[in-house]
Amino acid sequence: MQLPSPSKLCWGIKLPPEQKWIEKAIHFAVSQIWQRAHCIARSQLGDESQTLEMIEIAIGKAVHRLQLNSQASPEDVTQLLERLYLQEVRYRRKANKRLVLVGASEDLPSNSTHNPQSLVDSAIDLEIILHNIPPEVRFALLLRYSQSRWNEIASVLGTTEASIRLRCKRALNRIRQKLEDKEHGL
């Protein structure tokens, strides 16, 4: 589907002059995700007819979030918009209670790594797991991921090993459960 003209991309969003950057960033983001958004809608929901509506909803949410922040780069806005779009696809797919695939099999990537469904599920799942984690715990998880040991992490954060491990435990349990489910194909 052809990309709408820039004047139609932001569907009626009125922004004050100091927030005009949001409009430009959204234009850029929509142009970046446009083709992929249609591909995902086709494979996840069975047709592309809801793509525009879902992008509109994602734009609305993205603008709301960006208005609460200072400047963000066009790349960051693209990531945000894509995430919100995938979230909307996920909601609708759940609401449909069934997966409908249409089109030829060659329309779909053969490599499961790039399967849109897999990407949607994975992205959203980790998003949910890591949602609302306090900054200190986020940082601790990143440090552990980069192979710092818990005693080193505790030292960096100025706390005890037991304390930081306890604070990370819930997030780690949820990640562990998700990976376990993946291994068993759930």
Site for other proteins contains 70 (CB under 8 A): no
Among 36, 61, 144, 167, binds other proteins (CB under 8 A): 144
Q: Which two tokens stand for residue 175?
A: 């990640």
Among 71, 75, 101, 160, binds other proteins (CB under 8 A): 75
Element (H, E) at 78: helix 74-96
Q: How many CB atoms lie within 10 A of CB 59?
A: 22
Site for other proteins contains 119 (CB under 8 A): yes
Q: For the CB of residue 118, give the shortest distance to other proteins in the complex, in Å.
A: 6
Among 139, 159, 167, 174, binds other proteins (CB under 8 A): 139
Nearer to other proteins, 15 or 171 (CB): 171
Instruction: Give per-residue burial for 155-168: e unless 16+ CB within 10 Å, then b.
Output: eebeeeeeebbebb
Alpha-carbon span 125 to 128, nearest angstrom: 5
Q: For the CB of residue 17, give the shortest distance to other proteins in the complex, in Å.
A: 27
Site for other proteins contains 16 (CB under 8 A): no
Nearer to other proteins, 48 or 125 (CB): 125
Alpha-carbon span 175 to 178, nearest angstrom: 5
Site for other proteins contains 122 (CB under 8 A): yes
Site for other proteins contains 147 (CB under 8 A): yes
Alpha-carbon span 43 to 109, nearest angstrom: 11
Among 149, 160, 163, 166, binds other proteins (CB under 8 A): 149
Instruction: Give per-residue burial for 102-140: e unless 16+ CB within 10 Å, then b.
Output: eeeeeebeeeeeeebbebbeeebbeeebeeebeeebeeb
Backbone angles phi, psi at 75, to 5 degrees: -65, -40
The binding site for other proteins (CB under 8 A) comprises 75-76, 78-79, 113-114, 118-119, 122-123, 126, 130, 135, 138-139, 141-150, 152-153, 155-156, 172, 175-177, 179-180, 182
